[in-house]
A and B are shown apart, each in its own frame.
Chain A
Amino acid sequence: MGKIETNSPEMFIEEMERINSPLPERINTGPENIEAGLGKLVLTLIELIRTLMERQAMRRMEKGSLSDIEIERIGETLMKLENKVQELKELLGIKDEELNLNLGPLGNLM
């Protein structure tokens, strides 16, 4: 095919493998896996919401539109959410990369 020119093949191979490999290609949804499969789905959605909430909070910090009390409360909430997700991940034996979502043309969630 010979239509590739690069000054660092190794670096590109490394980066491309890193980007393409972490997502599992299949969720096994046979009856024995259905709990773990569902758990992963639910956790992924929670993580998605948590990420969106955190981003929104950061934008408001930037604008300075959060009161001290709000900062305190949101911080506590986000912290608890983060810990809860971590707990559930450990309980279900799910790795960090497994919660990554491919959003098509929008790229990966994480």
Chain B
Amino acid sequence: MLNDTVNSLDLHRAKDITLLEVLDKALNKGVIISGDLIISVADVDLLYVGIRVLLSSIETMESLQGRHIPKRQFK
């Protein structure tokens, strides 16, 4: 009985840590192709945006206001 409880706890935690480990890699690393960032009117996806985009995004925000631009190249 006690063993069952311990095992089910372990399984739950094992899933948590697996998810965290995989996210750690797949969310932040792996291949990205420049120009892939998708920007819609109100959302800037900051997951992998670095400082160069931050600096250019003031002008970007102004040009995006009211318009839907599906893709944008960042140099």
Q: Do chains A and B touch in the complex (CB under 8 A)?
A: yes
Chain B residue numbers with a CB within 8 Å of A9 are: 13-14, 16-17
Query: Which chain B residues numbered 22 to 75 have a C-beta less than 8 Å away from chain A?
Result: 22-24, 41-51, 54-55, 57-58, 61, 64-66
Cβ distance A11 to chain B, nearest Cβ, rounded Å: 10
A25 close to B47 (CB less than 8 A): yes
Interface size on A, residues (CB 8 A): 30
Q: Counting CB contacts under 8 A, is B7 at the interface?
A: no
Closest A residue to B66 using CB positions: A31
Chain B residue numbers with a CB within 8 Å of A41 are: 54, 57-58
Per a CB cutoff under 8 Å, which of A10, A27, A33 touches B46?
A: A27
B21 close to A27 (CB less than 8 A): no
Chain A, 1-34, contact with B by CB distance < 8 Å: what is the 0/1 string? 1001010011011001100100111111111011
Closest B residue to A44 using CB positions: B54
Point out residues on B near A: beta carbons under 8 Å: 13-14, 16-18, 20-24, 41-51, 54-55, 57-58, 61, 64-66
